[in-house]
Each structure stands twice: as structure tokens, then as C-alpha cells.
Amino acid sequence: MLDLHCSAHWPHDTQVGRRVALRKTDEIESLAGDKGYDDQSLRDALRSKGVRPVIRHRLFAHYDHAHNARLDSDLYGQRWMAETAFSAIKRRYGSAVRPSAWYREFRELVLTVAVYNLEQAIKG
């Protein structure tokens, strides 16, 4: 995991994803996302930073099917690695944070991700 975002309220994933992705553009070459991240301004911002967006289009018109068909399926197929990491963290360390103050929640999440990254480095 390259970055972590913690919020005291429940923002939509697209708002959080945009902030995190644009913070780390020097470390990523492409960004894969599902239809929930379908936002042309996000695609444009990523391209301007040199990151290739691999984000599916929501199906509003017939040409959206064409856009999705042109996506690089090998790159889009790599989303499974992120989904697997999220799932492994939830199964191994729990899906909820226990502290009530946001800064303690953030500290717990950072430690959880650090331990996960160390375990992956030892395995691989």
C-alpha cells in the first residue's frame, strides 16, 4: 500500500480516491478503478500528471460500451491485487477500528497497513 486516507466523516469514495491518487502521481503509472470512479475531470487530472487512467465508464449511452471495450483488460484486471489486499487486511486485522477519536483511528490504520506491508515483504 502506498497511501492511506482517514476521515472523521463518510465522504464518497470518489472524493477520497481522487485526493489519494493525485497525491501519489509520481509513484504510479496507471490507476485502475471501477465505474464508481467514472469522472472525466479525474481522468483529465490523472493524464495531466502522466498517469494512465484505467477506469470503466458507467453505461449511459451506446458509446460508453465502446469506451469500456477499448480499456486494456490486462491493466484493468490488476485491480484484484488491491481488492485482495483490502480483503486480507479486513480478515486478518478486523474490518472496524476501535478508537473513537479520529487521530487514534488514523494511528491504528497506519500501524495495520505498516504491519501488512512488512508481512508482504517477508513473504515475497
Cβ neighbours around 68 below 10 Å, total: 16
Do 31 and 51 meet the contact criterion of CB atoms below 8 Å apart?
Answer: yes
In what helix (H) or strand (E) does residue 48 lie, and over which residues does it extend?
helix 40-48
The reported pLDDT for the residue numbered 48 is 94
Cell numbers for 39? 469522472
CA-CA distance, 46 to 108, in Å (whole number)? 30
Domain boundaries, the chain: 9-77, 78-124
Per-residue pLDDT 10s for the chain (124 aa) are: 566 656 656 656 666 777 777 887 888 888 887 777 778 888 899 899 998 888 877 778 888 777 777 777 777 777 777 778 778 877 877 776 676 776 777 778 778 888 887 888 888 6
CA-CA distance, 19 to 23, in Å (whole number)? 6
